[in-house]
Amino acid sequence: MEKLKENSENNQNLDKNTNLENQNEPKLLYRLDKRNPFYMVFDLIVYLLIAWIPIIFAISNFVFDIGIFSLILNTFCAYISFIVLQILYSIIFFDYFEIYEDKMVYKDIFGFKIILHAKQIDRFFSYGYCGVTELMAIFRKRRFKISPTILILSLTSEQENEIRKNLAYLNIKNFNKKDKK
């Protein structure tokens, strides 16, 4: 009988400790872990077709060798290829995306995690194309902002609206904190 009382007291203490720990964690505002498979296939086809365009330009410029113009165009083609590969990677290997009160977490299938705190977000934009899918790009504050830090593709318009609304909340909350200090 005494052991039962001890166990119940220990369980109550454990519950109190876990409640205190949970109060310190930020509140989850939004979680995206599933996307429409039709949208994913559509995006894959579109971006695989786009992926060939820079390669064709780079090969023709390399063969004809027009000098400095060729070098500039090949550099531009390499940049476009890098962006398209980043897009294809984020379509295929996306696992989940979470927005908390003070940060966001992006994780892929391999376990690579990107954590951006509210004050690290420089800008974000969404783009809908072909009237089918939506894309969300999030940029981190850094000196050269030539590629997005987080890309989320194959979104429905409702998912894109929720993400945009919660990211705007993060930016406004971070802006208000700057004013108070």
Domain assignment of residue 1, yes or no: no
pLDDT at 175 over 80: no
Q: In this predicted structure, which of 20-34, 53-67, 110-124 has the lowest mean pLDDT?
A: 53-67
Instruction: State residue 61's pLDDT score.
Output: 67
Asked if 157 contacts 136 with a C-beta cutoff of 8 angstroms, the reply is: no
Asked if 39 contacts 133 with a C-beta cutoff of 8 angstroms, the reply is: yes
Q: What confidence tier does 54 reach under pLDDT thresholds 50, 70, 90?
A: confident
Domain assignment of residue 152, yes or no: yes
Task: Domain count for the chain, please give it.
Answer: 1
Q: At residue 164, what is the residue type?
A: R
Whichever domain contains 120, its CATH number is 2.30.29.30
Q: Is 162 helix (H, G, I), strand (E, B) or coil?
A: helix
Choose between 135 and 10: higher pLDDT.
135
Span 47-53, average pLDDT: 84
Give the range of the structural domain holding residue 134, as residue numbers without chain letter.
29-180
Domain assignment of residue 11, yes or no: no
